[in-house]
């Protein structure tokens, strides 16, 4: 144990980034993620405890993981999340701890999370139009999300980033207002191309609002954007800066410009399955190991095996593509 080279896959990619889903539950119902009704959730007893997550993360850090992002489902619906954040923030060698949230509960929870050691936060906001927010999320929580963003700014979270899923024939009118909002508030907006991970099988290739088209729209209607070359080639987002110095915009172009060749991520689902890719069909159970008598060495070997089995990249752009059996909320975005 302790040899970071263990998390290098057969394509030479070093893995130092772990996404940890803490729940598959959510308080809203974004249509590109969850079904509207009768959502199938994992039974509570199948969800990893904070102690199990902490043990897994400590082990992963001993193998070279340096960055952890806590996600879900909606991570803030997991009771006392700040207690987990405190445990993770105290792990030596974990240099970067971040959270992705829909922001609905941030007004109440941003402060305890900050006190527990969280500084980096991504808040999901697709639109500044209340009606479209309702249409997309099937819940009327727009004001709460805006209040959550303001609470994080006031507390001094840094960086705060906004995630906006880009869907053709739906969110085009949001591109310019979101870009302006980001400039005004000095917050980076990241546009994420719609991926085939929705629960209802609604994804179609021509529903993806392409990153290049968004760059053009912002460049002509807000301010010219200039690509920042290779800022961090292993980060999923391609970053652009405004020509007038008014901040940056990120693009997660998973469909039009897959970044698999630089991927450094593995994922732990809320029910303790380890995945080498968002789009992977297979996953490996670690909950049984964490709850059984497995030693740290045995669990470390399984983590290394999952990384070693990683494919070259997702196949969304090929005829072979098969959507994973679990949608986004159940994997952890
Ligand atoms: N509930 C939190 C949230 O919404 O930020 C965390 C989990 S959510 C699954 C993580 C991210 O996945 C969100 O930022 C959301 O925008 C993105 N997402 C969900 N479904 C998606 C899809 N089908 N295509 C692209 N991004 C998606
Ligand atoms: Fe919930 Fe996030 Fe999925 Fe929206 S994207 S339904 S907020 S888990």
User: Ligand 1 pocket, 102 CB below 6 A?
Assistant: yes
Q: Using CA atoms, how far apart are residues 21 and 71, in angstroms rounded to an integer?
A: 5
Closest protein CA for atom 8 of ligand 2: 73
User: What pLDDT sits at residue 279?
Assistant: 87
Give Cα 222 to chain centroid, integer Å: 27
Sign of CA dihedral 18, 280, 209, 145: negative
Judged against a pLDDT cut of 90, whether residue 68 lies above it is answered with yes
State the chain's mean pLDDT as an integer: 93
What number is the average pLDDT over the span 29-42?
Answer: 93
What number is the average pLDDT over the span 195-223?
Answer: 94
Of these ranges, 220-234, 240-254, 301-315, the one predicted with the greatest mean pLDDT is 240-254
Which of the ligands is closest to the CA of residue 333? 1
Judged against a pLDDT cut of 60, whether residue 211 lies above it is answered with yes
Length of the chain equals 333
Lowest mean pLDDT among 94-98, 268-272, 305-309: 305-309
In this prediction, residue 235 has a pLDDT band, given cuts at 50, 70 and 90, of: confident
Q: Which two tokens mark 96?
A: 């970067």
Q: Using CA atoms, how far apart are residues 178 and 265, in angstroms rounded to an integer?
A: 28
Which whole-number Å values give the CA distances from 188 to 111, 139, 157, 266, in the listed order?
21, 25, 13, 24
What number is the average pLDDT over the span 82-106?
Answer: 98
User: What pLDDT sits at residue 319?
Assistant: 72
Closest protein CA for atom 25 of ligand 1: 194
9 CA from centroid of ligand 2 (Å): 30
Preceding amide of 159 cis, omega within 30:
yes
Judged against a pLDDT cut of 90, whether residue 201 lies above it is answered with no
Measuring from each residue's beta carbon to the nearest atom of ligand 2, which residues come in under 6 Å? Answer: 26, 28-30, 33-34, 72-74, 102, 124, 328-329
Q: Using CA atoms, how far apart are residues 62 and 17, in angstroms rounded to an integer?
A: 12
Pocket test for ligand 1, best of 126, 127, 211, 328 (most atoms within 8 A of CB): 328
Which of the ligands is closest to the CA of residue 278? 1
CATH hierarchy code of domain 4-331? 3.20.20.70
Closest CA to 208 of 221, 220, 195, 223: 195
What number is the average pLDDT over the span 7-27?
Answer: 95
**Of all atoms in ligand 2, which is nearest to the CA of residue 73?**
8
Which of the ligands is closest to the CA of residue 30? 2
Judged against a pLDDT cut of 50, whether residue 190 lies above it is answered with yes
Judged against a pLDDT cut of 90, whether residue 199 lies above it is answered with no
Q: Where are the domains of the chain?
A: 4-331
User: Ligand 1 pocket, 174 CB below 6 A?
Assistant: no
27 CA from centroid of ligand 2 (Å): 8
User: What pLDDT sits at residue 181?
Assistant: 98
In this prediction, residue 260 has a pLDDT band, given cuts at 50, 70 and 90, of: confident
In this prediction, residue 231 has a pLDDT band, given cuts at 50, 70 and 90, of: low
User: Ligand 1 pocket, 328 CB below 6 A?
Assistant: yes
User: What pLDDT sits at residue 4?
Assistant: 46
């Amino acid at each position: 144990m302790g040899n970071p080279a263990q998390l290098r896959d057969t394509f030479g990619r070093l893995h130092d980034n772990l996404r940890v889903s803490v729940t598959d539950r959510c308080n809203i119902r974004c249509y590109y993620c969850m079904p509207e009704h009768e959502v199938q959730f994992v039974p509570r007893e199948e969800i990893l405890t904070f102690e199990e997550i902490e043990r897994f993360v400590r082990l992963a850090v001993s193998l070279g993981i340096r960055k952890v992002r806590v996600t879900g489902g909606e991570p803030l619906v997991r009771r006392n999340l700040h207690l987990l954040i405190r445990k993770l923030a105290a792990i030596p060698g974990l240099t970067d701890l971040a959270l992705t949230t829909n922001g609905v509960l941030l007004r109440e929870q941003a402060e305890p999370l900050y006190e527990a050691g969280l500084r980096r936060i991504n808040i999901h906001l697709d639109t500044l139009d209340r009606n479209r927010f309702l249409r997309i999320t099937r819940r009327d929580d727009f004001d709460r999300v805006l209040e959550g963003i303001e609470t994080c700014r006031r507390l001094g979270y840094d960086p705060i980033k906004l995630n906006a899923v880009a869907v053709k024939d739906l969110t085009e009118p949001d591109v310019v207002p979101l870009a302006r909002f980001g400039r005004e508030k000095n917050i980076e907006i990241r546009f994420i191309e719609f991926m085939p991970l929705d629960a209802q099988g609604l994804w179609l290739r021509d529903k993806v609002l392409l990153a290049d088209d968004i760059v053009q729209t912002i460049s002509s209607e807000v301010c010219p954007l200039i690509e920042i070359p290779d800022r961090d080639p292993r980060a999923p987002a391609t970053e652009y800066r405004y020509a007038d110095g008014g901040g940056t915009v990120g693009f997660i172009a998973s469909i039009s410009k897959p970044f698999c060749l630089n991927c450094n991520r593995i994922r732990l689902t809320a029910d303790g399955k380890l995945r080498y890719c968002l789009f992977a069909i297979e996953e490996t159970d670690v909950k049984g190991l964490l709850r059984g008598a497995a030693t740290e060495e045995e669990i470390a070997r399984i983590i290394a095996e999952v990384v070693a089995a990683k494919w070259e990249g997702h196949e969304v752009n090929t005829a072979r593509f098969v959507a994973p059996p679990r949608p986004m909320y159940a994997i952890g975005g």
